[in-house]
Amino acid sequence: MTEWLIASNNEFKTRDLIKCLAFYGIQAIPYTNELPKLNFPAEQTDSYAANALHKAQFLAKQTTKGVIADDSGIEVNALGEHLGVTTKRELHQDVSHSDNQTILNAMQGQDDRRATMVSTLVAIAPGQAPVTAVGRVSGTIATQTRGTNSTGFDKLFILPHQQCTLAEMSDEKRLPLTHRGRAAKQLAAELRGV
């Protein structure tokens, strides 16, 4: 497989995933480079893997190219059962604040700032069974957004033994350390020979 299509309408996620995949030798492009914009099926609340699989299967029916889908989220210890698989849906309920600001508001007064970011990738090559890869990274939530080298939760997320957020790191340092980067590394290993 020489070039994969990313099954997402989120341009920031797509751009980040393309960078992570390229870091491990997988070439990918936004699916909208090949197809008109599609309405993906609604996500479920069961699992990252199920959501990624549904997106990948949906796009695979529209193209003869291989497709890669991502479902990801952030799990914050102090917020209990909130976020995780339903991260985007929960955060988008607060339309007056960015996703990051909504998390910061919820974390006010919390001493426990531990968090985990999770990414599940599903790749489907024509005529092949789906291949799944998972990346997880644990760290803490900063007290304010910092950094311009990345977007989203990278602006809030600090790895253990680091003083900077992921978004303050260069791509060369950041990509292999992120949840998507780790999932991309695993996926690249799984896809060798596909």
Residue 171 annotated to the active site: no
Q: How far apart are CA 88 and CA 94, in angstroms?
A: 11
Look up tokens 């993906």; give the residue.
Answer: 40
Distances (CA, A) of 142 to 78, 101, 112, 120, 172: 13, 11, 11, 24, 22
Collect all residues with Cβ–Cβ distance below 8 Å to 179 and sequence separation of at least 6. Answer: 72, 117, 118, 119, 135, 136, 137
The pair of three-digit structure tokens given for residue 103, joined into one six-digit string: 């998390």
Out of 71, 94, 112, 154, which one is annotated catalytic?
A: 71
Catalytic residues: 71
